Structure 1
Amino acid sequence: MALLVIGLPIRKKTLFLAAAKKRGLDTELLLIKRHNDRHLLIPPQGQSVVALKRFIDTHPMPGATIIVVPYAERAHEMEQMLQDFVEYADGIVHRPVPEHDGWPKSLIDNPDNADVEDELYQALLKLLGWEEPIKKSVPSDRFRKSKEDCDDYEILGNALDRCDEVAEVRHAFLKRSAEALEDLCRKKGQVGMSLDAFFTKKRAPLAQTGGMQTSVCLMKGTRLLHQSDSNMHLKEGENTTPQAAARVYFQHLTFKDKYRMYLMYAGPHPDEKPISCDVAWDHN
């Protein structure tokens, strides 16, 4: 069977192609990427029309399948091509409906901070009959998602090596912390209130003293441009085991008009040895 998926999020490309390869399918993708408050097709719409026509022309056999994922704008020319594909080429077109059969309502409107792209992916596997056991998420996944979604967010060194050792009772705190840091990063630190108030609102208490010191060294080759030292961290759990005392150390800074968020450590209460990371600064 030949398969074309229109509207797969770009983050799921590698995973989906691997799943298709295991099943020996001839698979093509028209991906989508978020731009502000909407998702756009990749390649752009005119080229996507050409790609759709090429798929239809090169797969005239009955049973060729197109899945139209419903979250991105499509060129109006595509609609007639899809109708003709079904009527004249005995092709199959699936059009999933948001909020049915596991498909998320929206990829943008997400008040619960769910991993809607993963929900979409699981619904797509179900539609194709490719269901796989759902991997239980771990706290480090949420921090990695922020890095994937935010250009100004970096995870430094071994920041997440021990993250998943935290006691399960603190997993919700780590999730809230990850969401709060991502929000702070998206706003480039401009939250309209003090950091204490911001993190209190996010239910991720902030400490700016105590704990261990972290250092970010911005480097141009071997030359040190700027060093930032901080004890800033988020915390939950006192007078208990290290695993039940979760800590998240981070720095955020603006240097030469460029904002960056750096995750330094997330995990059980650390041994409080200083953490220092060199960061290549490629901007002028």
Structure 2
Amino acid sequence: MPKPHLAVNELRAYCEAVEGGYQNAEIYVLPYAPIPDDVQGELDALRDMGAQVIEFEMECDDWPYLHAPRPRIEQAFLDKVFELLILEIVGEDEEQDPVPLTPSQYILQAVQGCPNLVIVGDAIDLCDQIANHRHPFIFSAIDAFVVLIERLGDVGVLRQYFQDRGLNHAQTGGIGVELDIKLNGATVRRETHHTHLKSGDGTTVQAAVRIYYQCLLRDGIYRVFILYVGPHPDTDFSRTIDLANCG
């Protein structure tokens, strides 16, 4: 991604959008796919115009090896490439905690600051099993839920709201999740929805991440119920929550 015949156009579009001109462009070239001739020519021209073009080599500076004729794209390989690329782009910040939060820790921290973000049952028990390069997707999704709650759901069309944040939102297909919402033991709503956020299709189980959720506005309180976070589930399931226990 992008397809080879579109790559040069994507590269040009990026460079033209960089504020301050080509000298502020940063282009990272990974050694795991053939570089089309027109892209290589563009890279050479951009370098001459002051763009920063960084090229990596396999088996140099910890970059993993990939056998080109018969590549095996395993999870450990993807995690290592993601780790090295982020380190190259962002660098090390000595002031930050050297141990990043896991997805479950991030979610629990968000819930502490936003009690109307509700974890239902064992919804996050599997979330730390996802691939490392999907962690930012989880963090962005949780941040979006918090803002959604702060605005009492008044964000317009949900699909567009999430799309503006780089999140893929789906309301059909996938797994059906029934949520039985009770108040002091009596059901106030029981519905099955397919609503979820997703990242990764046609990939490994750990990299195909899904977040199933439902929302409820009741008595002026807007809640987002987190029903599942983790690798793509393979069966429908149900959850139950009692509002009396939501604080």
Place the TM-score, normalised by the shorter chain, in its bin. Answer: 0.5 to 0.7
After TM superposition, the structure 1 = structure 2 runs for residues 26-65 of structure 1, keeping only pairs within 5 Å, are none
1:274 Cα deviation from its structure 2 partner: 1.7
Q: Given the superposition, is the C-alpha separation of residues 170 and 282 from structure 1 closer, same or farther in structure 2, using an over 3 Å criterion?
A: closer
1:152 Cα deviation from its structure 2 partner: 1.4
2:210 maps to which residue?
247
**Is 1:202–2:165 an aligned residue pair?**
yes
1:165 maps to which residue?
129
Q: How far apart in 1 are the matches of 2:117 and 2:150? A: 9
**Is 1:270–2:233 an aligned residue pair?**
yes
1:232 maps to which residue?
195
1:167 Cα deviation from its structure 2 partner: 0.6
Q: How far apart in 1 are the matches of 2:211 and 2:245? A: 27
1:184 maps to which residue?
148
Q: What amino acid is aligned across from residue 198 of structure 2 in structure 1?
A: K
Identity %: 31
Bigger radius of gyration: 1
Instruction: Number of aligned residue pairs: give it.
Output: 152
Q: How far apart in 2 are the matches of 1:144 and 1:250? A: 16
**Is 1:141–2:114 an aligned residue pair?**
no
Q: How far apart in 2 are the matches of 1:204 and 1:144? A: 20
Q: Given the superposition, is the C-alpha separation of residues 196 and 220 from structure 1 closer, same or farther in structure 2, using an over 3 Å criterion?
A: closer
Q: How does the TM-score come out when normalised to structure 1?
A: 0.50
- CA shift digits 1:83-140 (9 cap, x unpaired): xxxxxxxxxxxxxxxxxxxxxxxxxxxxxxxxxxxx7xx8xxxxxxxxxx85431112
Unmatched tracts of structure 2, length 5 or more: 1-94
Unmatched tracts of structure 1, length 5 or more: 1-118, 123-132
After TM superposition, the structure 1 = structure 2 runs for residues 89-168 of structure 1, keeping only pairs within 5 Å, are 134-168=98-132
Q: Is the CA contact (8 Å cut-off) linking 2:103 and 2:135 kept in structure 1?
A: yes
1:214 maps to which residue?
177
Q: Given the superposition, is the C-alpha separation of residues 135 and 218 from structure 1 closer, same or farther in structure 2, using an over 3 Å criterion?
A: same
Q: What amino acid is aligned across from residue 139 of structure 2 in structure 1?
A: K
Q: Is the CA contact (8 Å cut-off) linking 1:218 and 1:281 kept in structure 2?
A: no
**Is 1:258–2:221 an aligned residue pair?**
yes
- CA shift digits 1:180-216 (9 cap, x unpaired): 111111111111x211111001111100011112222
- Secondary structure (helix, strand or coil) at the match of 2:212 reads strand
Q: What amino acid is aligned across from residue 215 of structure 1 in structure 2?
A: E
1:160 Cα deviation from its structure 2 partner: 0.7
Q: How far apart in 1 are the matches of 2:227 and 2:171? A: 14
2:14 maps to which residue?
none
Moved more, 237-246 or 253-262: 253-262
Q: Is the CA contact (8 Å cut-off) linking 2:102 and 2:128 kept in structure 1?
A: yes
1:279 Cα deviation from its structure 2 partner: 2.1
Q: Is the CA contact (8 Å cut-off) linking 2:175 and 2:194 kept in structure 1?
A: yes
Q: How does the TM-score come out when normalised to structure 2?
A: 0.57
Q: Note the aligned Cα RMSD (angstroms).
A: 2.1
Q: Given the superposition, is the C-alpha separation of residues 273 and 228 from structure 1 closer, same or farther in structure 2, using an over 3 Å criterion?
A: closer
Q: How far apart in 1 are the matches of 2:146 and 2:154? A: 13
Q: Considering Cα pairs closer than 8 Å and 6+ residues apart, tell me whether 1 or 2 has the greater RCO.
A: 2
- Secondary structure (helix, strand or coil) at the match of 2:161 reads helix
Q: What amino acid is aligned across from residue 277 of structure 1 in structure 2?
A: T
Q: What amino acid is aligned across from residue 221 of structure 1 in structure 2?
A: N
Greater strand share, structure number: 1
Q: How far apart in 2 are the matches of 1:159 and 1:232? A: 15
